[in-house]
Chains A and B, each alone.
Chain A
Amino acid sequence: MTRNTRILMQCIYWAFVIYLLVPLFLMMLMGFKDSKFIGFPIKSWTLDWYMTVFADTAVLQAFAYSMVIAVVSTLIALTMGTWIAVALTGRSFWGRAIILGLTLLPAIIPGVISAIAFRIAARVVGMEPGMWAIIWSHAIHNVPFVVLVVMARLSTMPKSYAEAARDLGADPIIAFFRVSLPYLTPAMIGGGVFCMLLSFDDFVRSFFLGGYEPTLPVLIFAKLRSGMSPEINAISTIVLVLTALLGLWAERSMRGLSKRASHD
Chain B
Amino acid sequence: MTYTTETGTAGKTDRTGFWGRLSTFGPYVALTDILLSSPRRQFWFLLAIPILWVFITHLGPILQMLNVSLLSSYPPSPNKVSVYTLENYRKFWSDSIFITPFIRTLVFSSVLTLTTLIIMYPVAYFLARHVRRDRQILFLMLLLIPFWVGEVVRIFAMMILLGNNGALNILLQWLGLTERPIPFMYTGFSLSAGIIYLTALYMLMPLYSALEKIPASYSEAAADLGAGPWTRFRRITLPLSLEGIASGCTLVFLISTGMYATPVLLGGPSTTLFSEVIAGFFHVAGDQWPVGAAFSCIMLLTALALSGGFNKLMGFLAGRVSK
Contact = CB atoms under 8 A, between A and B. Distances in A.
Nearest to B299: A113
Nearest to A24: B157
A20 B143 contact: yes
A246 B1 CA distance: 26
Contact of A20 (B50, B64, B146, B264): B146
Interface residues of A, number: 101
A164 B7 contact: yes
A64 interface: no
B83 interface: no
B161 A12 contact: no
Interface stretch (B91-99, B238-246, B289-297, B314-322): B289-297
Contacts of A111: 255, 258-260, 275
Given A109-B62, A110-B257, A20 B197 contact: yes
A124 B66 CA distance: 12
Given A112-B259, A113-B258, A183-B1, A23 B127 contact: no
A178 B22 CA distance: 13
A102 B56 CA distance: 10
B300 interface: yes
A204 B260 contact: yes
Contacts of B250: 108
Nearest to A244: B145
B130 A119 contact: no
A11 B51 CA distance: 49
Interface in B87-143: 119-120, 122-123, 125-127, 129-130, 137, 139, 141-143
Contacts of B75: 123
Nearest to B279: A112
Given A17-B143, A19-B197, A120-B293, A110 B254 contact: yes
Interface residues of B, number: 97
B10 interface: yes
A183 to B, nearest CB: 7
Contact of A86 (B36, B46, B74): B46
A109 B254 CA distance: 7
Contact of B165 (A13, A40, A208): A40
A172 B28 CA distance: 13
Contacts of B11: 168-169
Contacts of A86: 46
A9 interface: yes
A251 B149 CA distance: 15
A240 B147 CA distance: 10
B188 interface: no
Interface of A: 1-2, 5-6, 8-10, 12-13, 16-17, 19-24, 26-27, 30, 37-41, 80, 83-84, 86-88, 91, 93, 99, 102-103, 105-106, 108-121, 123-124, 136, 140, 143, 161, 164-165, 168-175, 177-179, 182-183, 197, 200-204, 207-208, 217, 220-221, 224-225, 228, 232-233, 236, 239-240, 243-244, 246-248, 251, 255, 260, 264
